[in-house]
Amino acid sequence: MNSWKLKEIVVMSVLSVVFAVVYLAFLPVGKILVGFFGPIGYDLIFGIWFIVSIIAAYIIRKPGAAFLSETIAAAVEVLLGNAVGPMLLVSGMIQGLGAESAFAMTRYKRYDLFTLMLAGVMAAVFSFVWGYFLSGYAALSTGYVVAMFIARIISGAIISGVAGKALSDALAKTGVLSSFALGKEQRRKQAA
């Protein structure tokens, strides 16, 4: 934690607060999809619920960014009033760990599109395993469970990986990230 600058922590927590609100806003969207497609509805957009871990890690590039940001976002969701309550905190931590594991695999060296998509995929895998035990997907037919799993992985890769990167890059263009790892990298690229 000592390698973190205070401004990185505050920025991460602000991102978490923003996306906690976004996460809550997407719950009803998920519910509508569930109404149409059954439990798989959530999996289609599940990637949205990992996005802050990818964005924070991509911007700040320090060990723990993915895990902490997702955990804080979950904590804020609980504080704002979420039905699942404390359980959500655990879900958040597990998703965060999933994303974190991808960055750890590159030894926190690579932050390219592939790594970010991998982080989304890993978050999806971790969260699915947790969900499997928590919400009892075992009761569903195997084919359906596999379909859910695939949907969640794709959603993790696309929504949190690809869209998370696009959003961060667009943000970097505004210059507000100039003193963060992502902004510095872009500056180096421009200079080169």
What residue ranges bind other proteins (CB under 8 A)?
Answer: 1, 4-7, 9-18, 21, 31, 34, 38-39, 68, 72, 75-76, 78-79, 81-87, 89, 133-141, 166-167, 170-171, 173-179, 184, 187
CB 143, min distance to other proteins, A: 11
Q: Is 182 within 8 Å of 61 (Cβ atoms)?
A: yes
Per-residue tokens: 188: 């180096």
For 109, which DSSP code? -
Give the separation between CA 53 and CA 80, rounded to whole angstroms. Answer: 19
Indicate the residue among 3 and 107 with the shorter CB distance to other proteins. Answer: 3
Of 5 and 110, the one with the shorter C-beta distance to other proteins is: 5
Q: Of 4 and 108, which has the nearer Cβ to other proteins?
A: 4
Q: Which is nearer to other proteins, 116 or 122 (CB)?
A: 116
State the minimum distance, in angstroms, from the CB of residue 187 to other proteins. 6
User: What is the three-class DSSP state of 63?
Assistant: coil
Q: Residue with structure tokens 């401004």?
A: 7
CB atoms within 10 A of CB 48: 22
SS3 state of residue 4:
coil
